[in-house]
Structure 1
Amino acid sequence: MDLLEREAVLQDLTGHLQAAVTGPGRLALVRGEAGIGKTSVVNRLAQLADPRIRILVGACDPLATPRPLGPLTDLAPRLGQAVRTALTGALAGTCRSDEVFDCLLADLTSYPSLLVVEDVHWADEATMDILRYLARRLPSVPALVVATYRDDEIGRTHDVTALLGTLAGYPWVYRHDLAPLSRRAVARLAGGHTVDADELYHVSAGNPFIVTEILAAPGESIPATVREAAAGRLAGLSAAARRVVDVLAVLGRRVPLPLLAGMLPASEEALDEAVAGGIVRTDAQVTEFRHELTRLAVLESVPAAYRLRVHRQVLTAMRSRPVVADDLALLADHAEGAGDPVAVLEYAPAAAAHAAALGAHREAAAQYARALRYADLLPLGRRTSLLEGHSQACLLSSRLDEGIASRRKAVKLRRVLGDRLREGEDLRWLSCWLWPFGRTVEAGRTGLDAVRVLEGLGPSRELARAYLNLCQLACYEHEDVRVTAAYAEKAIALGERFGDAGVVVQARFHAAAANMLSEGSGWGECEQAVSSAMAQALPEDAGFLALIMCWFAALQHDAARTAAAVDRAEAYCLDHDLLSYLLCTRAWGSWGLLSRGSWAQAADAAQEVLSHPSSPPVVRALALTVLGLVRARQGKARAWPLLEEAAGLVDSDCLLDTGLGWEARVEAAWLTGDHELARTEAQRGLDALAERSHPWLSGPLACWIGRVGGAPPEVPGAGPYALELAGDWAGAAAQWDGLGCPYQAALARLSGDAPALHQALAAFEALDARPLVARTRAVMRTRGVRPVRRGPRAATLANPYGLTIREMEVLKLLNEGLSDAEIAARLYITPKTAGHHVGAVLAKLGVHSRQEAARKLHDSKR
């Protein structure tokens, strides 16, 4: 397994080792907090070392009375007899410790070595002296000495601090810090797990140990190992320091030092002890736990009565001074902890509104939910407003089920209050979010209800948005272009009248999109609308339109446009915390990867979407469909259950509207040889499209009917589908090639002549589309076309080890010391695919490590 984001440190250490064994020697200090991966790094360094280098690893132990020369005792069996004899004598008191030092130096001088001393922060005095002794003499020794220590556990008076002072003047001493993992790396580790990667990053602060423990215990809010690690650190604190830590745990994240001093006067020494113990850290005027999960583990152990008392004290103290916006979330937290519902209802809604204004939608949803727990104390109108705020925040943070439930309650309460304007607005919002929830029929019905309510009240900004919603639904459901345009005109007129720029830009976008989907023109106008929304600082409108462009590009199988649209939408949604839109963008990205033949990457991307616990039903249906198609095209089992699961998540119309569902089901049936099922599924889709106009949906279904031996119905087909329906397989294949879709191009060539069949077979073999390889060979036999026996390529035959061109590329990158992740980035493949190539290279070369493979490359050049 690759060590994420440790490549640079490993490369530096490997360079030190190569330089040290030929002289002069070096000392490398590897430092970082507990769990950051120091041991993993030195273990990987040992694995990467040349087999001719002797590996010596010893460790210090967290004992009340450290073992004298403990690390040296660990590695003694790998040292010479002289060192072992001197060590035995020193431990028995029959010889001086400096004799051990001299023997160790002589032993290291005689053989190229990597000497690792782990956890020096627990070392005894004699081990510290050994490091001082060796460090001074390393220039004459063919060895790299690596010492690891926790820099979060050494204070000003610690022995390691004194050691570091001694080493400061030696130019052959190098220092390497191990930083926490980035958000991206944590997300990679979370791949395949049903966990919110952003929340995982938040609670772990990127600590690899905490990340892996959470992933290993998904059912536990705080893994037992993390709880025990926190308890172990607390056990070593004095009573005063433990009291400080308990109070900090109750106070929450980033506690101002003046606030702590107000709670616990004269606590400076105790705080210093907690910092030296690696539990908390201070930064200017603020202190906080190193990891949120550690804080939660400590908080869990604080008695409830004590927590209540601290919350009340803090709430009183904070309310005694002017309240600023940044205090609102903390005040709401302490108000709830203090059991003060009135204070919760004072601060939680304000904290939610502040978070929403900053684009922090998940935080806003949590604060609204907190307020709603006490909302029975409020008048009906205020309670309804909280439900509306909670709904909106949930929807934007991809908690659709909670958001829709709150909006349904709000609709009922507005009706009770007789507030028709807000009832209509709530109906419109409900309709908007029922569509991604997969309930397209109810979305349309609810959207019409919203318009009926609002039209009875006269022109309004709310009515403009309600018309826009019907415009969107008409576009997505592929109604007549005139229907979409009519709603767009009404929305634009009211949007301009009431100064709602978002309505105007979205209505123009969807009017152009309806033309594009049915007639093929309008892409430029859609792009202009997206740019306009971004330029006008309309983040929710711009993020939504950027996402829709991903859908339209994928629907038209345009690989280049899909990739560009996905990159733009993903960056924008990340910048503006639009999680629902982000997840949908990534689902369409997986479809784009599938279209351009990157099936392994498509499956990885789809799995990542499915692993996110907040993925909406439509998003999950898209990802499941991509996975099902990859399996079907590769001839793997359990493709159909994935497609069935996707169909069960959403309404049948939604399955069709996305442009994936029915076509995927038809293809999967065809690939298994069930032509009757394929014909039935295709006809069901065409029947549902009977009253609609969408060549990108009807075209493929008609083509599939032709491929299974039926007479293709006369329906509109777009682009290459129209050419295939007209019998121009060559033109269709050429268009597919232009769109960057090798699989679809090969399908079109199945209807072609002998050269076309040879091209199709080569494409299917390259894609590892096993069912299509067999089918193409069968077609060739039927038509009397002899397949070319390709065998290994000439380049492969010319290579002495039988490596392919791609495997030679991988071998050259291995020689650069790159990890699987770095190789993947260089070759534009997934890390998993890179790993497969690395394994194949090692197997063909008959070696067991990357270093041995690199040496084979050097040998072949001699």
Structure 2
Amino acid sequence: MSRLVSPLFAGREEELAGLLAAHEASADGTPKITLIGAEAGGGKSRLVREFTARVRGSARILQGSCLELSEAGLPYAPFAAALRDVVREYGADGVAGLVDEYAARELARLLPTLGVPADDAEPQLAKARLFEALLRLLERLAEERPVVLVVEDLHWADAGTRDLVAFLVPNLCSTRVQLVTTYRTEDLADGHPLRAMLGRVERLGGVTHAVLARLNRDQVAAQLEGMLGRPADPSVVNEVLARGGGVPLFTESLVDADGSLRTELPTSLRDLMLQVVGELPDAAQQVVRAAAVGGTRVSHPLLARVTGLPDAELNAALRAAVGGQVLSRDPGGYAFRHQLIRAAVEDDLLAGESAGLHRAYAEALTEDPGLEPDDLWAPVGLALHWHGAREPERALTAAWTAAAEAARQLAYPEQVRMLDQVLALWPVAPDAAAAIGVDRGTVLEAAADAACWAADTTRGLELVEEGLRELGPDGDPETRARLLLERAYVRLQVMLPGELDDLREAVEVAAKPTVVRAEALGQLARTLIRRDECAQARPLATEELALAEQIGEPEYAVEAQVVLARIDARQGRDVLPALAETVRRARGLDLGGLELMAYAALVEAHTATGAHAAAITTGHEGLRRTAQLGLARFGAANIAQGLAEALTAEGRWDDALAVVDDALALDPTAFGRAQLLVFRGRIAIDRGEVEAAIRVADELRQLIGETPSPFVLPLAELDIELALAAGDPAGASAALTDAVGDRLVMASPRYAWPLLCIAARAAVDAGDTAALDRLGSIAGDAERPGPVAAAYAASFAAEVSRAAGANPALWDEAAAAWTAPHPRAYALMRAGAAYAALGDREAAGDRLREAAALAEPLRAEPLLDQLNLLARRVRVELGAGARAHSEAARVPFQLTERELEVLALVAAGRSNREIAGELFISAKTASVHVSNILAKLGVASRGEAAATAHRLHLFEPA
């Protein structure tokens, strides 16, 4: 199976820039030498290819590789290859003409086609003469144009090649020659002759030594996106990084064309991994095989017990394995340098060999668990080793014990893994229920719950469905209620229909005053809040609080208090002290999930009151707690979306995007992903990154499907913005009706007001008075809790007023209501336009300048385009930053004043003849202007040009 190759060169931008800068310097007569080291597959050859492709037009590329010595490689092989290219271009006589006949005869030692080598009258000086001849040739070639000499795989170089490189480095004086060499870092064991040479030359002037690091997660994601032509699934990125370690070659080998992980290593890659191990001494190979069965890492005492080798022999074998770049030192033990090496070695073991090693590990850990210092890995490893040793009963009981320890440490993925092993062994272990003291249904329920906490929603849904099938409709009501609650939660996270039905049935069947009913009440109340049905949620949360106090379960009392505080916050009440107290109570009770829920609610409450600095501080604190609790994948998205909202409102858009990207990298559930994508889409549209915003909208649409969700309104908002950006106000107005219908009436102010404002803008632009009337009716009934909702309400009133003409006072009120820079800048821009329409140029200029000062740091390109165009029309000066933007955009698309006039008439639907009449120019001149406009806008028709003009609001009065 062939591997994919990314056309996108990811992760080596800095090194490539360094090579290009060195090339510029060498082209100016300052020779530069770059030594590039990397492990096998680390990207050094790709880096060289990318570099030479960029400079090939301005430089002569001479390139050759050293041959592996085990293949009896020729001396000076890379220089012979480079010289061969010169001979192909100039011919033997031409080469002699470049240097002289005597030097050409010296070069014939590398390439016989150049003639008969000179007599070795002084053989001890023959090498020196050859080196001088090659240097002379490079100098003459560089007189014509700059030369880039590439010597690859220097780790395989013969002594002569190493000496020649060492000679060239200090002697390429004042020549336009750039020398680039590559070598494998893992092949430079102690005593390798290249080590000494590198140490000598890297201290010389003009020499740069770059060792390529492995790619980080973002770089692996970029490489995968280049390979697939679309962003890879975050779970695939995480798994590829874990298995491939950030080695570019491994990344390319681990993914199929459809973006899925390959279940087996490609044969070529597996052979490469095994070849590395096969080069070790026999004793080291034996230790490596034992270590492969031990897992990702293995402690020294445990490996010593399993191998049974004396200390001296074990240490010698380990030293060879470490020196051979197969193992690396780890605190207290050893780890594989590449997990792919471990996988290949383990897969290569014979069945009996594998079972025997697993038994040795299991017996060692049973006798002395302290051989494995990790408190969690000791029981987990014991369970896995008994399984590998084909001891089902011992593997089952060990897995049950390990699952309990994993739950205690909040290591939910490991808990799922262990409970899956229990379920897999259930049919073959004798009397499994008696062995662990619970029935299979209880194990299913525990596994489903663990999968939910681990955010493994696919596995969680499988387990819940299996549990419900086994229980049947007449099974224990409380067990059924618990499974229904699990299924409802999973359905929420994967955004499948049926969540509300499950919750209502759970409340119905859990009729007794127990913790199950309390949990059902709380989960249903939270769901109703997400659906903006707070009136129904309040009595449920009130009952949960009373029930928690009745049965003495403070966990559910804290949950009810969080729910009630969220309801109160949406009604404008001050809930900050109450929510801060719930955070403290949850932490004091060691309730990690509830603590994170309280943090998310507290961030939301701060943001709703406009206290963005407090929201940011609280959000960062909450994210730190997700990591401390081991619940980052479970709880980070909920807190991160609130933090991103606060950062966005503060104008810290880059910081908001960083928070979103970090949270998305954790591979959250579909619900969590949708929470985060909303902010990525908003910032993209406000920065004019239309293609990125379209991708976000498409993904949100796919995630939401037909499921009722709080993301319907943000998606509608984004769709309207995209329609406006495309110059389609009628389509924007229709998007509101198509997407949300009557849902907007019931929406919480948090989601309703942003949509009302953008919908009003679309309705005014489209001249849709019916839509404006409908929106006005909804806005009249909408609640306005807190200053943020009040600011939106002021913007809505100003937006609606545009239908009747310029009203600067309303836009001034809206601008004054906002602290967030972008909506404030937008309101100031509208106010400036309104004052300009009334002829008050001074007032218009003041507002436009302030708006530009706010928009420039945000890089809000569409708003800046509008401001610059409006400033030109009003003839006022904006700030220096906005002027720079104006110069870069050339107001916009480098349109001249006359072309702007023509475009205005094109947008108004005028023909060329009508344009000529209005501007007192010939029809032919009008046609030329229109053609120039289409070319500058990059559009194909007058209709597209008109759409662009509408999108940028080029010619509207206010």
- TM-score w.r.t. the length of structure 2 is 0.67
One-letter identity of the residue aligned with 1:723: A
Alignment CA distance shift 1:405-1:43 (3 Å): closer
In the alignment, which of 609, 633, 636 is matched to residue 579 of structure 1? 633
Deviation of 1:99 (Å): 1.9
Deviation of 1:353 (Å): 3.4
One-letter identity of the residue aligned with 2:109: G
Deviation of 1:101 (Å): 2.4
2:228 aligned residue:
none
Does the aligned pair in 2 maintain the 1:222–1:293 contact within 8 Å? no
Distance 1:373 1:806 in 2: 67
Distance 1:418 1:74 in 2: 79
2:28 is the alignment partner of 1:32: no
2:325 is the alignment partner of 1:278: yes
Aligned residues: 792
**Which moves more between the two structures, 277-286 or 595-604?**
595-604
Q: Percent of aligned positions with the same letter in both sequences?
A: 22
Distance 2:588 2:178 in 1: 56
In the alignment, which of 185, 195, 219 is matched to residue 151 of structure 1? 185
2:307 aligned residue:
263
Does the aligned pair in 2 maintain the 1:57–1:115 contact within 8 Å? yes
SS in 2 for 1:654: coil
Does the aligned pair in 1 maintain the 2:686–2:861 contact within 8 Å? no
2:599 is the alignment partner of 1:518: no
Distance 2:472 2:243 in 1: 41
SS in 1 for 2:438: helix
SS in 2 for 1:103: helix
In the TM superposition, what whole-angstrom CA distance separates every residue of 1:239-278 from its partner, at most 9, and x where no partner exists? 6665554444344322345555543745766655554543
2:561 aligned residue:
508
One-letter identity of the residue aligned with 2:233: T
2:196 is the alignment partner of 1:129: no
2:769 aligned residue:
709
Alignment CA distance shift 1:667-1:556 (3 Å): farther
In the alignment, which of 665, 669, 677 is matched to residue 615 of structure 1? 669
In the alignment, which of 733, 738, 756 is matched to residue 819 of structure 2? 738
Deviation of 1:288 (Å): 3.2
**Which moves more between the two structures, 443-452 or 560-569?**
560-569
SS in 1 for 2:390: coil
Does the aligned pair in 2 maintain the 1:795–1:804 contact within 8 Å? no
Equivalent positions of 1:11-160 (< 5 A) are 29-41=35-47, 57-63=63-69, 64-76=71-83, 77=85, 81=99, 85-89=105-109, 94=118, 95=120, 96-105=126-135, 116-134=150-168, 147-160=181-194
In the alignment, which of 193, 200, 203 is matched to residue 232 of structure 2? 193
2:366 is the alignment partner of 1:319: yes
One-letter identity of the residue aligned with 1:720: A
2:297 aligned residue:
254
Deviation of 1:123 (Å): 0.9
In the alignment, which of 411, 425, 433 is matched to residue 374 of structure 1? 425
Distance 1:746 1:240 in 2: 75
SS in 2 for 1:580: helix
Distance 1:204 1:166 in 2: 34
1:214 aligned residue:
254
2:782 is the alignment partner of 1:722: no
SS in 2 for 1:61: coil
Alignment CA distance shift 1:610-1:755 (3 Å): farther
Deviation of 1:451 (Å): 4.6
Q: Which entry has the higher C-alpha Rg, 1 or 2?
A: 2
Equivalent positions of 1:585-734 (< 5 A) are 615-617=669-671, 619-620=673-674, 623=677, 646=700, 649-650=703-704, 654-656=708-710, 659-661=713-715, 663=717, 671=728, 673-674=730-731, 675=733, 678-679=736-737, 681=739, 683-686=741-744, 689=746, 694-699=748-753, 704=759, 707=764, 708-710=768-770, 711=773, 712-713=776-777, 714-718=780-784, 719-723=790-794, 729-730=810-811, 733-734=814-815
In the alignment, which of 873, 894, 919 is matched to residue 788 of structure 1? 873
Alignment CA distance shift 1:600-1:652 (3 Å): farther
Distance 2:553 2:33 in 1: 65
SS in 1 for 2:185: coil
Deviation of 1:717 (Å): 4.0
SS in 2 for 1:381: coil
Alignment CA distance shift 1:734-1:798 (3 Å): closer
Distance 1:792 1:57 in 2: 56
In the TM superposition, what whole-angstrom CA distance separates every residue of 1:302-351 from its partner, at most 9, and x where no partner exists? 44454344434443444343465332222233333333322321222333
Does the aligned pair in 2 maintain the 1:233–1:279 contact within 8 Å? yes
Distance 1:677 1:7 in 2: 41
Does the aligned pair in 2 maintain the 1:570–1:586 contact within 8 Å? yes
2:341 is the alignment partner of 1:341: no
2:228 is the alignment partner of 1:181: no
SS in 1 for 2:379: helix
In the alignment, which of 385, 410, 415 is matched to residue 364 of structure 1? 415
Distance 2:54 2:501 in 1: 64
Alignment CA distance shift 1:398-1:134 (3 Å): same
Does the aligned pair in 2 maintain the 1:27–1:145 contact within 8 Å? yes
Deviation of 1:356 (Å): 3.7
Distance 1:799 1:425 in 2: 62
In the alignment, which of 279, 294, 299 is matched to residue 341 of structure 2? 294
One-letter identity of the residue aligned with 1:74: A
Alignment CA distance shift 1:492-1:773 (3 Å): same
Alignment CA distance shift 1:562-1:755 (3 Å): farther
1:401 aligned residue:
458
Distance 1:299 1:188 in 2: 30
Deviation of 1:73 (Å): 1.8
Alignment CA distance shift 1:100-1:642 (3 Å): closer
**Which moves more between the two structures, 139-148 or 795-804?**
795-804
Distance 2:534 2:325 in 1: 66
**Which moves more between the two structures, 483-492 or 640-649?**
640-649
SS in 1 for 2:794: helix
In the TM superposition, what whole-angstrom CA distance separates every residue of 1:676-706 from its partner, at most 9, and x where no partner exists? 664465542146x2xxx83344556666477
One-letter identity of the residue aligned with 1:319: T
**Which moves more between the two structures, 750-759 or 331-340?**
750-759
One-letter identity of the residue aligned with 1:375: W
Deviation of 1:176 (Å): 4.2
**Which moves more between the two structures, 595-604 or 219-228?**
595-604
Distance 1:562 1:455 in 2: 39
2:449 is the alignment partner of 1:392: yes
Alignment CA distance shift 1:291-1:766 (3 Å): closer
Deviation of 1:647 (Å): 5.6
One-letter identity of the residue aligned with 2:572: E
Does the aligned pair in 2 maintain the 1:732–1:748 contact within 8 Å? no
Distance 2:666 2:685 in 1: 21
In the TM superposition, what whole-angstrom CA distance separates every residue of 1:86-145 from its partner, at most 9, and x where no partner exists? 232256675522322233455678869765533221111211232444567689999775
Deviation of 1:48 (Å): 8.8
Distance 2:344 2:394 in 1: 27
Alignment CA distance shift 1:736-1:596 (3 Å): farther
Does the aligned pair in 2 maintain the 1:663–1:700 contact within 8 Å? yes
One-letter identity of the residue aligned with 1:394: A
Does the aligned pair in 1 maintain the 2:712–2:739 contact within 8 Å? no
In the TM superposition, what whole-angstrom CA distance separates every residue of 1:533-568 from its partner, at most 9, and x where no partner exists? 568764322333444556677889998787666655
Deviation of 1:10 (Å): 6.6
Does the aligned pair in 2 maintain the 1:627–1:642 contact within 8 Å? yes
SS in 2 for 1:373: helix
Does the aligned pair in 2 maintain the 1:513–1:523 contact within 8 Å? no
Q: Larger RCO: Structure 1 or Structure 2 (Cα < 8 Å, ≥ 6 residues apart)?
A: 1
Does the aligned pair in 1 maintain the 2:815–2:825 contact within 8 Å? no
In the TM superposition, what whole-angstrom CA distance separates every residue of 1:14-37 from its partner, at most 9, and x where no partner exists? 888899999998866543322223
- TM-score w.r.t. the length of structure 1 is 0.73
**Which moves more between the two structures, 559-568 or 352-361?**
559-568
